[in-house]
Structure 1
Amino acid sequence: MSFLFNNYSRRPIHLISGKGTIVQDDKGKEYLDFISGIAVVSLGHAHPAIVETIKKQSEKLWHVSNLFESPQQEKLAATLTKDTQFSHAFFCNSGAEANEAAIKLARKHTGKHVIITFEQSFHGRTFGAMAATGQEKIKQGFGPMLESFRTVPFNDPIALSAAIDEDVAAIMLEVIQGEGGVHEITAEFADTIAGICKSKGILCIVDEVQTGIGRTGTRYAYEQTSLVPDIMTLAKGLGGGFPIGAMLGTAELCNAFGPGSHGTTFGGNPLAISVAQTVVNHVFDVTFLEDVQRKSAYISGKLEDLLPAPFEVRGKGLLLGIDCKEDVTPFIRQTEKAGLLVVQAGPSIIRLLPPLTVTQMEIDQAIGLLASVLHETLIS
């Protein structure tokens, strides 16, 4: 009997330690971790710089609440907004919380209540973020959703234009839909969103919870598009494994979030902020980001060489998906037995999310295992 709610389909593996890309279970078996806590452990497990940061900060201060000034929060906010259109940050504990803050800010600033989102999107499992999510399976069993969201097909300019009216406060999207199947925004659709937002005075919210902090080879994935978001949300890789979320916004939005308008007890605590600062100091280095891009090109090239049609590789950076055109559940089980951890993104998609620090040797090992199991399990 378990004393836990059964809301997770847990895998029968008990992981107890990790270093870099390698994790070990309680039986001593090692695995290549190409899940990274679902794009969370950006610098790998037990990165020395993060371990040292936690040790030092834990001996100083863990929590004081946001009733007091925080120079550490100011510094991290400055790092995240540098050379962007953003000027302010709000720190919380997760991606869902960051998205809830973004929804509230957009409605408060505009005085409007409708937010357009997209089919196959994923924005979290709190009630507001769940309503924003464009996947019916997430909403089943919870009764009527909040009525303030209009969900339209992704990458469909005509459908989007038809959904716009005077009640629309914002358009909310992921540049790459990670949970929804690793679907990337087209250049045409990004241009359409940018044009609508500019001409209609509608806010653009980009959810970079999974794609941000170097995951796609740039600081933020939107930087590879024509989008200029007014609000952006972050989490996952920002803390390198330590819980933290953030919402960034432009200067004109600042007054909408005055004292008492929004808050968090634990968000932006000294431990989380110090870890996140260490992460971005590493990831935002130009050489580091170029290395992520090189690794991405290497993985994509190797996979395309090894996998025959109809397999399709898509995504950017180290957020990659392999569309197998059939259920990949048996494959996931076989890769685990072979010593490789991967995750699905919909029924037919294998998602690869290794640490950004993954080595070429580890990539070669992982691709070898992938190819072997794919041929045995799916291609045959």
Structure 2
Amino acid sequence: METTKQMKALDERFYMPAFSREIAIVKGEGSKVWDADGKEYIDCVAGIAVCSTGHCHPDVVKAICDQARQLIHCSNLYYVPHQGDLAKKIVEVTGLHKAFFSNSGAEATDGALKLARVRTGKKKFVAFTHGFHGRTIGSLAVTHKPGIREPFEPLGLPVTFVDYGDLEGVKKAVDSDTAGIIVEPIQGEAGVIIPPDSFFKGIREICDKTGALMIVDEVQTGMGRTGKWMAIQHTKVSPDIITMAKGIASGFPMGALAAREGLEFKKSEHGSTFAGGPLACAAGVATLNVIEKILPEVAVKGERFRKGLAKFNPRVRGLMIGISVGDRCPEIQKKCAEQGVLVNCAADGNLRLVPPLVITDAEIDRVVKVLNGALG
């Protein structure tokens, strides 16, 4: 097996330097990972909220291996094994009408924007400050962060950005040519920012009055992350379109969108060679079956984190946790890693924890102890 030094040397020579990284992860099991030098960590990054069932959950591994022995790819020119089963499950957990698959969250966003345009006949979108929806040209257009968006402008979509939580700003931004309002129920990349439920009820009312579609980005918050299948379900608001990815297939690259009745792609309006392939759908079905069993435990585990970190005023919804630490964030992240706990810095000096949903009480207590030491 390669050492960290060897992996780093190859990376520096042959891979474009788009990422900042130091640790080389080579093995994972449950909520733990090991680096190339054998050091063990409790993983509260989980591939950025991706490894929902933990690393290498046996049910997911079996589903992928069993399917790989039968058929790896056939394209969407044919009916795909497990695709209908997973679409049915997505419809059931979202409460919407039909699903469509993609290879990532960014692609799911692009699909949602296309669907909103083609079904409404309108062109404009409203998005929010500090929101993050992906890095493709389409998803980047509705992503606020100037540092990653502006170098690639013009992006081709007319988008108005409004302060997150500002309903009056939304009312002013929406006009007769607004196709959709895209919003995260919790802003994850911004540092786990949770607005009041009234914000989403207000957006729903604005959409109902104007004919714009309410698009909810559940790429990071969905799949049980917050204690419900979708974070928007905490608000009792039903959107027109939901996008998903990250935790949907336990690390196998996959995304999805679901839409209410009356909103669907017609033949040739959208497509993908790889999306919703046999391996991805097998992993997705297995993942959702595991999450269904452990979903009632997520809120309880979140409260254990909240109590253990209470002195630092954490923002907690299920197993999505943010703590404002300011300029100390990189230092705290490094201290935690030295003590065998992986956390990461989101935007604006916010520490973020999104551990696997299978994290144990003992592991939570260990993480809390390390964090209290690093923060204190």
Q: Shorter-chain TM-score category?
A: over 0.9
| Counterpart check, 1:328 vs 2:336 | no
Distance in 2, Cα, partners of 1:188 & 1:250? 22
| Counterpart check, 1:99 vs 2:103 | no
2:242 corresponds in structure 1 to: 232
1:13 corresponds in structure 2 to: 23
Q: C-alpha displacement at 1:83, in angstroms? A: 6.1
Q: 1:190 touches 1:226 (CA, 8 Å); kept in 2?
A: no
Normalised TM-score (structure 1): 0.93
Q: Deviations over 1:53-78 (max 9, x none)?
A: 11111110110000012352111111
SS of 1:105 mapped into structure 2: helix
Identify which of 80, 84, 96 aligns with 1:86: 96
Distance in 2, Cα, partners of 1:171 & 1:52? 40
Normalised TM-score (structure 2): 0.94
Q: C-alpha displacement at 1:348, in angstroms? A: 1.2
1:4 corresponds in structure 2 to: 15
1:77-226 equivalent positions in 2, closer than 5 A:
77-82=87-92, 84-226=94-236
1:299 corresponds in structure 2 to: 305
Q: Deviations over 1:259-284 (max 9, x none)?
A: 21111111010000001000111212
Identify which of 263, 270, 295 aligns with 1:262: 270
Q: 1:40 touches 1:241 (CA, 8 Å); kept in 2?
A: yes
Distance in 2, Cα, partners of 1:164 & 1:270? 40
1:340 corresponds in structure 2 to: 341
2:296 corresponds in structure 1 to: 290
Alpha carbons of structure 1 residues 13 and 85: separation in structure 2 relative to 1, 3 Å: closer
Q: Deviations over 1:315-369 (max 9, x none)?
A: 3111110112434111111111111100111131110011000000000001101
Q: Deviations over 1:73-132 (max 9, x none)?
A: 111111111165411111111000000000000000000001110000000000110110
1:273 maps to a residue whose letter is: C
Q: C-alpha displacement at 1:191, in angstroms? A: 1.6
Q: 1:19 touches 1:45 (CA, 8 Å); kept in 2?
A: yes
Distance in 2, Cα, partners of 1:84 & 1:241? 21
1:300 maps to a residue whose letter is: R
Q: 1:327 touches 1:347 (CA, 8 Å); kept in 2?
A: no
Following superposition, which runs of at least 4 residues in structure 1 exceed 6 angstroms of deviation? none
Identical aligned residues as a percent: 40
Q: C-alpha displacement at 1:18, in angstroms? A: 1.0
1:6 maps to a residue whose letter is: P
Distance in 1, Cα, partners of 2:296 & 2:43? 22
- Larger mean Cα displacement after TM superposition, 79-88 or 89-98: 79-88
Q: 2:129 touches 2:162 (CA, 8 Å); kept in 1?
A: yes
Give 5+ residue unaligned stretches, structure 1.
Answer: 376-380
SS of 2:13 mapped into structure 1: coil
SS of 1:32 mapped into structure 2: strand
Distance in 1, Cα, partners of 2:358 & 2:107? 27
1:373 corresponds in structure 2 to: 374
Identify which of 286, 290, 295 aligns with 1:278: 286
SS of 1:37 mapped into structure 2: helix
Alignment length (residue pairs): 365
Alpha carbons of structure 1 residues 47 and 85: separation in structure 2 relative to 1, 3 Å: closer
SS of 2:151 mapped into structure 1: coil
Q: C-alpha displacement at 1:15, in angstroms? A: 1.2
Q: CA RMSD in A?
A: 1.2
2:189 maps to a residue whose letter is: E
Q: 1:87 touches 1:248 (CA, 8 Å); kept in 2?
A: yes
1:378 corresponds in structure 2 to: none
Distance in 2, Cα, partners of 1:71 & 1:265? 15
- Larger mean Cα displacement after TM superposition, 348-357 or 221-230: 221-230
Q: 1:312 touches 1:324 (CA, 8 Å); kept in 2?
A: no
Q: 1:72 touches 1:270 (CA, 8 Å); kept in 2?
A: yes
SS of 2:323 mapped into structure 1: strand
| Counterpart check, 1:362 vs 2:359 | no
1:295 maps to a residue whose letter is: K
SS of 1:54 mapped into structure 2: helix
Q: 1:170 touches 1:203 (CA, 8 Å); kept in 2?
A: yes
Identify which of 74, 80, 104 aligns with 1:70: 80
Q: 1:319 touches 1:352 (CA, 8 Å); kept in 2?
A: yes
Distance in 2, Cα, partners of 1:373 & 1:71? 48
1:13 maps to a residue whose letter is: I
SS of 2:327 mapped into structure 1: coil
Distance in 1, Cα, partners of 2:374 & 2:214? 42
Q: 1:212 touches 1:221 (CA, 8 Å); kept in 2?
A: yes
- Larger mean Cα displacement after TM superposition, 47-56 or 99-108: 47-56
Distance in 1, Cα, partners of 2:289 & 2:375? 38
Q: 1:193 touches 1:227 (CA, 8 Å); kept in 2?
A: no
Q: 1:176 touches 1:183 (CA, 8 Å); kept in 2?
A: yes
SS of 2:27 mapped into structure 1: strand
2:252 corresponds in structure 1 to: 242
